[in-house]
Every structure is written in C-alpha cells, then in structure tokens.
Amino acid sequence: MTSHDHSIARPRRLRATESMRALVRETTLSVNDLIQPFFVVEGHAQRQVIASMPGVLRFSVDELVLEAKVAVALGIKAFLLFGIPDEKDEEGSEAWNPEGIVQRALRALRRELPDVVLISDVCLCEYTSHGHCGLVHNGMVLNDETLPLLARTAVSHAHAGADMVAPSDMMDGRVSALRVALDHAGLTETAIMAYSVKYASAFYGPFRDAAGSTPQFGDRRAYQMDPSNAREAMREAFLDESEGADMLMVKPALAYLDIVKSVSASTHLPTVAYNVSGEYSMVKAASAHGWVDERRVVLEMLTGFRRAGAKLIITYHALDVARWLKN
Ligand code: PBG
C-alpha cells in the first residue's frame, strides 16, 4: 500500500511558505490598534525611571511632548494619560484642578499634536492621600458621593483637550454620571472609554509603584471585580454600554482572554484590552534574563488579544511594537 491509497487531511499545505501563511493569516496587528500609556509628573526636564517597569518613564510635560512626537513618527495615534500630582488630599482635589498635571499635559499635547487621540484616565487614586479610587468614610469607599468628583474631573479633562475620558474607578453609575456632566457642559463629542470589566488584580503592582497609588489601607476588592467571575463581567459591560460608553475595556488582558472574547462577541462597540503593568514587567524581567525572546513573545501576546476580539490594545510595549511592525 502506498501513501496514495488513503488520503489524509493536510493542513500543512497552507503553512508551507511565508507567502502562503500570509495569505491565510486570520489575525493582524497594526499600529492603528495600539494605545500608548504615559505617566506625567510635575516639574521640568523630568524623565524618571520606574524601577519595576524597565523602559517606562515618568515625563514632565515638556519631555512628554517630545516623547509623544517620537510615538507619532512611528504611527501611534492614541495616548492614555495618567497624572501624578505633587499634592494629594483626602478628596483628590488635584484631579479636577484646571491647572492640574493632566490638564496641562492635555493642553500641551493638543497644541503640539492636533491630530492624535488624547485619552485621559479618570480616577481619584493617584490624587487621594489614602490611595483609594473614591471618597472614603469610616474605611468605606463611598459610591454616590464619588460620582460628582469623577464627573468634574472628566469635564475638566475634556475642556483641556481630551477626546476621550476613561473612568477606571469602578464606581456604579459612573459612565452615566460622566455622560450627563459632559453633555451639560456642551461636550457632547467627548467619548467615554469605560474600564468596564476591571478586576481586583495583582497584575497592577508595578503601576501602583509608578503612580504612587497603592491604597494606604485595605484593598480594592469592594469595588474592582473578583477574578473568579465571568457572568458578572457581562453585566458590567452591558451596564456601561447602556449608560452610554463608546468603548468597553477589559483589564487585565492576559489572564482574561475568555472575558475579552465574550465581551467582544456581545457588543457592537469596540472592545479594548489593557495589557497591564504586571504583564509588561514579567516579559521585561524574563527577556532581561534571556529566558524569552522579547519581540516574539510580545507580538504573540498582542496577536492573542486581537484574536480574542480586542480591536484596541493599551500597552506599555506600544513604541517597541510600532518599531517592530515597521521592519
Ligand atoms: C487607576 C488605575 C490603575 C491602573 C489603571 N488605572 C491601578 C489600580 O486600579 O490600582 C492599572 C494599570 C496597570 O497596571 O498598568 N485606578
């Protein structure tokens, strides 16, 4: 009997050459899919190293503009800004200061780079002395009392030039609170990217180092989601969509690809995956040891987010990826 006597299915035919593989490739990754996060600090000529996030810096506004121009030259079209103020208080009042750090960064970027999409993280944890994402009373994070402060912050970001505001606090009702406040201020064109499905995750560790936003007591489990829950993720995504969100985010990404997939399958809004700080730092640490090939693992991870259904990916690897995609 020769091999011709029984035919076997041969998927390998379509893998034989790079041209054939390119022809049948189902998922693509483009620089248009990337959102670059930036940390902004007070001062001048600041490029501060973050020990737990090698390659990521905290920029003062002047340096941020220079770095953003490098990103734009590589084709990156969207930035997500996090402000790190010098002064913190119980309420986080620097968050809505018209002369606050994010507001000044937004105005500078808007002026220098009129075509980029500017997104601002709306949360109080970087601005409160206790490090929680809302007002605290008797050790509890208050929901309804926090909403007007978030709304005020979002409006001040939009006035300063944000195209899109991204609430990351996980208070109930915040998307509609932001939408109503923006509309009342005449900011009907400002979009909302909701951190819809945000888990209480250990993968945020390096970010809290970078932003100085570690809670001074307790943790965030009374407002961020339990990593065990998937049905509840759908409820959060549905609520944010019905409250007027323009994009739905899942965060973190790597351990939550099932959630990315189910959220993207059940909405017509763009789905965003946040490749968070801990995911970044793990890759950086392993590749610094020579244990993994940084470029290959990053491209594989990002392709996985896209394959799971993410249209957009927020990632600290964005600049490197944009460079790799060019060659
Ligand atoms: C603020 C916020 C956090 C992140 C984004 N926005 C930290 C947190 O919830 O503690 C994490 C981002 C990252 O880890 O890269 N609430």
pLDDT single digits (tens) 180-236: 999 999 999 999 999 999 999 999 999 998 998 899 999 999 999 999 999 999 999
pLDDT single digits (tens) 10-60: 999 999 999 999 999 999 999 999 999 999 999 999 999 999 999 999 999
Question: Averaged over 118-139, what is the pLDDT?
Answer: 96
Whole-number Å distance, alpha carbon 207 to ligand 1 midpoint, is 6
Whole-number Å distance, alpha carbon 26 to ligand 1 midpoint, is 31
Torsion angle of the four alpha carbons 56, 62, 65, 68, in this order, in degrees rounded to the nearest 10 = -10
pLDDT value, residue 6:
78
**Nearest protein Cα to ligand 1, atom 14:** 204
Q: What is the CA radius of gyration of the chain?
A: 21
Does the reported pTM lie above 0.95? yes
E strand residue ranges, the chain: 34-41, 47-49, 57-60, 78-84, 117-122, 136-137, 140-141, 164-167, 191-198, 247-251, 271-275, 312-315
Domain spans in the chain, listed from the N-terminal domain onward: 28-326
Task: Work out the percent of the chain whose per-residue pLDDT is above 70.
Answer: 98
pLDDT value, residue 183:
98
For ligand 1, is residue 276 a contact (CB within 6 Å)? yes
Q: Which of 266, 255, 250, 252 is nearest to 310 (CA)?
A: 250
Atom of ligand 1 at shortest distance to CA of 170?
16
Q: Catalytic amino acids?
A: 198, 251
Write out the two tokens for 100.
């606050």
pLDDT value, residue 278:
98
Question: Averaged over 270-285, what is the pLDDT?
Answer: 98
Whole-number Å distance, alpha carbon 160 to ligand 1 midpoint, is 22
For ligand 1, is residue 277 a contact (CB within 6 Å)? yes
Residue 257: other Cβ atoms inside 10 A: 18
Atom of ligand 1 at shortest distance to CA of 198?
9
Atom of ligand 1 at shortest distance to CA of 204?
14
β-pairing, 47-49 vs 34-41, is unpaired
pLDDT value, residue 272:
98
pLDDT value, residue 4:
63
pLDDT single digits (tens) 79-103: 999 999 999 999 999 999 999 999 9
For ligand 1, is residue 168 a contact (CB within 6 Å)? yes
> Out of 3.20.20.70, 3.30.360.10, 3.40.630.40, 3.40.50.150, which CATH number does the structure's domain 28-326 have?
3.20.20.70
**pLDDT score of 1 more than 60:** no
For ligand 1, is residue 110 a contact (CB within 6 Å)? no
Whole-number Å distance, alpha carbon 194 to ligand 1 midpoint, is 13
Helix boundaries (H) for 28-80: 61-73
Whole-number Å distance, alpha carbon 5 to ligand 1 midpoint, is 60
Give the C-alpha separation, 287 to 240, whole Å.
37
Give the C-alpha separation, 121 to 165, whole Å.
6
17: Cα separation from own chain's centroid? 36
Phi-psi map region of 180: left, alpha, beta (phi>0 left; psi -120 to 50 alpha): alpha
**pLDDT score of 2 more than 60:** no
CB contact at 8 A, 76 and 322? yes
